[in-house]
Chains A and B, each alone.
Chain A
Amino acid sequence: MDDRQELNRNLAQMLKGGVIMDVTTPEQAKIAEAAGACAVMALERIPADIRAAGGVSRMSDPAMIKGIQNAVSIPVMAKCRIGHIAEARILEAIEIDYIDESEVLSPADDVRHIDKSKFAVPFVCGARDLGEALRRIGEGATMIRTKGEPGTGDVVQAVRHMRKMQSEIRRVASLREDELYEAAKELSAPLDLVKFVHGNGRLPVVNFAAGGVATPADAALMMELGAEGVFVGSGIFKSGDPARRAAAIVQAVANWQDAKLLAKLSENLGPAMVGINADEIETIMEERGR
């Protein structure tokens, strides 16, 4: 692994135990930073609004992203479409701290992802299971997040993906060494990465939860299931009192094992995002990119 890949994995390590929040304006970015976000995701429309608007969803305007970079001192991430090499190069050119090659946007390539190992800038990618995670890492992703189902406020898919990934990691760790070749075939994943999981009992990169987290309890649930931090997209700025909810989710992630504190944090937060049940939606974002 070259130095750049290692440095990019290291940045993800610094984000652990933190909350990465979707923001659409410099004002929202400042609210997120003051509430304790460890990074912000700059995008023109949050997933719930992308869903509502329909149509093709693309990389955000670089001017808008720069406005957010200038407003805060924490890392700024931005999304490019799956397989859109040129959008990724543009985001690298404006020195984004992390690119999210994201299923939230309309895919530019319905088969291939970007060869992320050719970039100096780091990438985070979504995954629903261990095979998907290891394929993305093989392509050069230095951070993974569960996909969940973005823009729904329904945590069920994030739970399904995190549980699946963790149980597959445990299974691989328990195999005999001579069974790893077959496991790599089944997972459609690079053998060296399967061997890493076998030897270490974890992914070789940091793994966050994303897609449907809306409350401090949701965030604590994802930490309980093995997430090393959470992304909150629509859940904050689609709620009644974003600053307060954001701060409560940050504290919930830091102290997810303390139910008494979680109870206090969950009090009087105002209305959560209304949300839609993940099985009532027509656009299934999690199925984009495999």
Chain B
Amino acid sequence: MNVGVLSVQGAFAEMAAYWRRRGAEVFEIRQRVDLSRKIDLLALPGGESTVQGKLLADLGLFAPLKERIDGGLHVFAVCAGLILLAEKIEDAERCAEARPSCWFGVLPVAVRRNAYGRQLGSFKTVGTFDGRPGVPMTFIRAPAITVISPQVEVLSVFNGQPTAVRWKNITAFTWHPELN
């Protein structure tokens, strides 16, 4: 499997290592030219969604990636990546990715950024993911999924709120499976 990791900012090296451990062929996506390679799955890493969204637009990556996601390309997104995919961002009026040119808006959920507060609110827990118990889950200044369309499958839950979801070609996490 060929995995393209969006590598403009954030924990993209950790995401690349996660997919290499699973036997995938991994390459970095930093510019448009990187999209000429064969890609089976797009991985959106953790980081700052405002930065990644802006760089997607500035580097001309937004439109071609959106086209592929709309066309059914598999996407694996964590934290900031989930925010880039969400249909609605609750505090969008005060954050840079409110501009539709750098926010994919394809996953029918609403998210609240930094939902657990600042860094002192970051935490680690163990939970059930996709029916598998005992999975370590690391939340770093994590977003929360506050509204979810009934068609979206919930893969993990924390305090009654979904923390990982699957919808069509997209799997997205508010926590960091690549860190454990």
Contacts and interface: CB of A to CB of B under 8 A. Distances in A.
Interface stretch (B36-44, B65-73, B115-123, B158-166): B115-123
A272 interface: no
A250 B48 contact: no
B124 A16 contact: no
A73 B94 contact: yes
B113 interface: yes
A75 B141 contact: yes
The interface size bin for chain A is: 35 or more
A36 B55 contact: yes
B9 A10 contact: no
Contacts of B11: 13-14, 16
Given A11-B141, A13-B14, A95 B117 contact: yes
Interface string A121-148: 1100000000000000000000000000
B136 to A, nearest CB: 10
A70 to B, nearest CB: 10
Interface centre among A38, A73, A250 (most CB of B within 10 A): A73
Interface of B: 7-14, 30-31, 46-48, 50-51, 54-55, 58-59, 79-80, 91, 94-96, 113-114, 117-120, 122-124, 138, 140-141, 176, 179
Interface of A: 3, 6-8, 10-11, 13-18, 33-39, 69, 73-76, 92, 95-98, 120-122, 247, 250-251, 253-255, 258, 261
- A-B interface, 6 closest residue pairs, ranked by CB to CB distance from nearest: A97-B119, A17-B9, A36-B54, A254-B8, A38-B48, A13-B11
